[in-house]
Structure 1
Amino acid sequence: MKLVSWNVNGIRACVGKGFLDYFKEVDADIFCIQESKLQAGQIELELEGYYQYWNYAERKGYSGTAVFTKKQPLSVHYGVGEATDEPEGRIITLEYESFYLVNVYTPNSKRDLARLEERLVWEDTLRDYLVELDQKKPVIYCGDLNVAHEEIDLKNPKSNLKNSGFTQEERGKMTTLLQSGFVDSFRYLYPNREDVYTWWSYMNKVRERNIGWRIDYFITSNRISGLIKDAQAHCEVMGSDHCPVLLDIDLTV
């Protein structure tokens, strides 16, 4: 089974930059997007053979997630646990026979870290939710998680130690999650691979020089880690300031 996750930074803009070409070429069983930046009725995506599930933010042109899947899930849930009020459209959970898929766009702590405390509460709540799901079925958790976990996951770790996405607090929450029964699929296969990133600033020639961060992930329950066949970052794919990431795993929907 092939899964893709991509922060498209505005699906309408990304469609104008080749999204559909990549979508058709990669031919994923499940394709997740983050930061769709639209409301219902603002785009009609013709994705033949796919069911579409959208979680829109209340604020116009902000946040939002979606999942496109070849097989209809058993259930779809928006938000965390019993909560259905999720105004920023950041979480979609699809239940299949053998696993849960959780697609997430994690809040950014902001340049001045004004949202850090809120972000840390978010991390605790989401971890509890993932652990609860994992007690029922294995979990595949993906998306733009807005954190570079280790120094190897960004180009300039020393100069970013106190910056959003690389604070000790955010990195610690990722460590705690992984210690709770989960594995980062890319690092599981490639623990020492350097210079693989999924996000680059729009500043001049930053992407060209590969000065980036790896903040987009596929994380799975430990008990299905042995089924992971490959994990990739398609760094060559343009259309957003993020690139798509792919998980190939020996599961069926």
Structure 2
Amino acid sequence: MRILSFNVNGIRAVEKRGFVDWIRQESPDVLCLQETKAHPDQLSSELNKPVDKDGKAYFSYWASAQKKGYSGVAIYSRIEPRDIKPLGVPEFDAEGRVLQADFKDFVLISAYFPNSQDAGARLGYKLDFCAAMLECCNKLVSAGRHLVLCGDYNIAHTPIDLARPKENEGNAGYLPEERAWMDTFIAAGYVDTFRSFHPGETGCYSWWSYRMSARERNVGWRLDYHCVDKAFMPKVSASIIRPDVQGSDHCPVQIELKLK
């Protein structure tokens, strides 16, 4: 099972850059999207129901922000989940930040973590979201479920997860409080799958500023993750970053599962 997660930074914008054709060519089993910035009724039929390489339509699910043109997540799946729901916390569901898809072997969560913004203007909201996310994960594990939490965490966890850590100390996404939450999350029994397969590897980023030719120079941040509960890690056969995919200031991240 191949699962991709992609912050598209506006699904209508990325549609103009060949997104629908890319889905057809790529044909992942599941594609989780963040920062869709749209409601389904604003989208083309091709975005509401994209098709895979065999011409079969994906099941599509949306959690949109009340504010038009803001935030939002979606899941396209070739496999119909047993259940689909938001986080269940009104202050975060109002911004369309989470979708949970219940599959037979695990629960897949597509999440768009808030940006703490300049001078930590939304740091409190961000940390509240992080706490709610951890509580959600812990409840699933306590109930005997495995989980994959994917999406844009808006956090570079360690110095090797961004090109210029010293210069970015005190900046949103690399604040001590955000990094400390990642420590707490990992210590609670969750695994950053990319780091499990690529420990210590540098220059691996999933977001680049549009300014100063940052992507061309690979001056980036690793903000997008697939994390799983520790007991599910043996089912993970690969976790990679896909900088070859253009269209957004982020690139997709990919995980592969062996479920049989």
TM-score (normalised: structure 2)? 0.93
The alignment status of 1:116 with 2:119, answered yes or no, reads no
5 Å-filtered alignment, 1:49-198, equals 49-80=57-88, 86-136=93-143, 137-198=145-206
Tell me the equivalent position of 2:32: 32
Cα distance in 1 between the residues matched to 2:197 and 2:116: 29
Assess if the C-alpha contact under 8 Å between 1:38 and 1:56 holds in 2: yes
1:84 Cα deviation from its structure 2 partner: 9.1
1:64 Cα deviation from its structure 2 partner: 0.4
Structure 1 residue ranges (4+ consecutive) displaced by more than 3 angstroms after TM superposition: none
Assess if the C-alpha contact under 8 Å between 1:78 and 1:84 holds in 2: no
Stretch of structure 1 that moved more, 239-248 or 114-123: 114-123
Q: Deviations over 1:158-212 (max 9, x none)?
A: 1111110001100010111111111001001111111010000010211100000
TM-score (normalised: structure 1)? 0.96
* Unpaired runs of at least 5, structure 1: none
Residues 1:228 and 1:85: Cα distance change in structure 2 (over 3 Å): closer
1:50 Cα deviation from its structure 2 partner: 1.1
Q: Deviations over 1:225-248 (max 9, x none)?
A: 112111111102110000011001
The alignment status of 1:239 with 2:242, answered yes or no, reads no
Q: CA RMSD in A?
A: 1.4
Aligned with 1:47 (options 47, 50, 57) = 50
The alignment status of 1:20 with 2:23, answered yes or no, reads no
Assess if the C-alpha contact under 8 Å between 1:76 and 1:94 holds in 2: yes
Number of aligned residue pairs: give it.
251
Cα distance in 2 between the residues matched to 1:230 and 1:139: 16
Greater relative contact order (CA < 8 Å, ≥ 6 in sequence)? 1
Identity %: 37
Higher helix share: 2
The alignment status of 1:204 with 2:212, answered yes or no, reads yes
Assess if the C-alpha contact under 8 Å between 1:80 and 1:126 holds in 2: no
Cα distance in 2 between the residues matched to 1:165 and 1:102: 20
Tell me the equivalent position of 2:258: 250
